[in-house]
Amino acid sequence: MKAHIVPSFFDAYSKLSSQEKSLTKKTLNNFISVPELKGLRFHQVNYFHSLSVNMDLRIITFLKEDSYYIVYVDHHNEAYNWARKRKPIINENESFFELVEYDNNKKVDNKIKTELSKTNDGYANIVAELNKRVDDDEKLEYISTFSPHIQEILLNSLNTDQINSLSNSQIFTFTTDNDLEIALKYPLDKWRIFLHPAQKAIALQNTNINVLVSGFAGTGKTVVLIHRLKYIISLNSFDQIIVLLPKPEELKHLVSEMLNKIIDEIPSNVKIMVPSPQKDFKYFIKNINHSLKCHILIDEFQSFGLHYFRHFDFLIKNKNIYWTILFDPAQKYYSVQFEKFINDNFVPIYLNYAYRNTKQILDYSKKYKDKYLQIMPDIPSAFYPLEPITTINGLPIKLLSTSYDKLDELINKEVNFLLSKYEDDEIVLINNYPYDSVLKPRRLIFNYEKWKIKTVQYSKIGGLEYKAGIILGGDRINVDNRKDLANAYTYISITRFRDYLIIINIFSNSI
């Protein structure tokens, strides 16, 4: 009997506590070693079977002929509710496994959502069908019948004759304990450095041209940065390579950490800097050898203020300096002079596919952006990419409101809930209430030590990402005089998270 793990299981498994993961892994090991299912507690749930891990935890599986598909894991009620809302569909050669979600209050044929997974054989069969189409229009018509991420794979196969699949869309087939161990290693840094083919094309752009990469939160700008940096280093054609990052300093550590995972050693001619507008930056400008060939890479470009642009204007006149600039126009909260700085020498490139966030978080952040963030006149509209889309499925946003005297109690409750599903380094609390304009006038003092996870101020979260977390102050717009800043920082905070987001407000119960 074959056993397959479907991506929806990986997403659910990653949210379990360490102890629950260990118990789940042990149960799955028993499962693959006892194909006749003796000694294992199975119960029918709609189209699926529930496999008991313990008195509370359930693995949801689906049997088709000689194959079992491991599709979900959660606590009893949540797992059963998940199974009752879905119907599995598998094609004849088992190359595609589809989970279709239905609204039980409507007709059965009213499909809400589809989660589609593929095996390698499935890709090969589909590409073979694609290659039977001779005319380009016929090929595009065939490709258009698939979901967006499969369309992308098929389009790539036309150009490269290779099948490039997204890492989070594969069905994993396992037969041994070791296979399972490999499959269940789902670390935070794995998806941080994953490079999609569309991003790779940007990373490998000609290094002797200036490129401007724009994309909304979660589209992989920092991932593109580190892979482009790796590519520039590999060419060995630049005397100086400089990476400029805004504060917080933690972003520098994250970039260095990500870079160390993809190259053996950072060369001495590579400088990664978080320059202050006065001392560090003037020193940096002064010590560039203008006779040497240099490539400057800038991440979170929208976070650099006017005091930096005087130096940028000076440097861009140097023909020995080439640029790779990455920014998110929606995250701009300082007045910058893009039109003055960016000129015809820059090639605009857009990232318009979101990898970080669940669909619920992405939809929520889009609604917030559309409601509160306007296209600023000093950023040309041409720099705005299409709205990102996502195929990642996950948990929704939780909106909560409380009084100040109940705040600690509520935060501790929600923190404990998140710790039951995630590791502590995968979670953060963002305090979105500024001290001077919001907290101090109301004599509010927060006891950060009571909150058992990392806590950061809103101004130090740009460029960082976590699996789950809490935003304290999604209603900041209602209490802050600088509403343009409040809107930008709230949007940035919302888009930091991959899977789960809890927003706790004190002053209102909505954004």
DSSP 8-state class, residue 170: B
Instruction: With a cut of 50, say whether residue 362 has pLDDT above it.
Output: yes
- What does the pLDDT read at residue 420? 85
Hey, what long-range contacts does 88-92 have (CB within 8 A, 24 or more apart)?
A: 88/47, 88/48, 88/62, 88/64, 90/64, 91/122
- What does the pLDDT read at residue 498? 80
Segment 438-466 mean pLDDT: 84
- What does the pLDDT read at residue 483? 80
**Which has more pLDDT, 176 or 498?**
498
Please state, in angstroms and rounded to a whole number, the distance separating the CA atoms of residues 38 and 220: 46
- What does the pLDDT read at residue 410? 92
pLDDT class of 186 with cuts at 50, 70, 90: very low
**Which has more pLDDT, 308 or 91?**
308
- What does the pLDDT read at residue 115? 60
Segment 355-378 mean pLDDT: 76
**How crowded is residue 321: how many other Cβ atoms within 10 Å of its Cβ?**
19
* Averaged pLDDT score across all residues of the chain: 77
CA dist list (Å): 399 to 357, 456, 508, 511: 17, 20, 11, 9
Segment 162-178 mean pLDDT: 49
Instruction: With a cut of 90, say whether residue 296 has pLDDT above it.
Output: yes
Helices (H), 85-160: 120-131, 136-143, 148-160
Residues whose CB is less than 8 angstroms from the CB of residue 200 and which lie 6 or more positions away in sequence, other chains included: 227
**Which has more pLDDT, 416 or 344?**
416
Instruction: With a cut of 90, say whether residue 236 has pLDDT above it.
Output: yes
CB 152 within 8 A of CB 198: yes
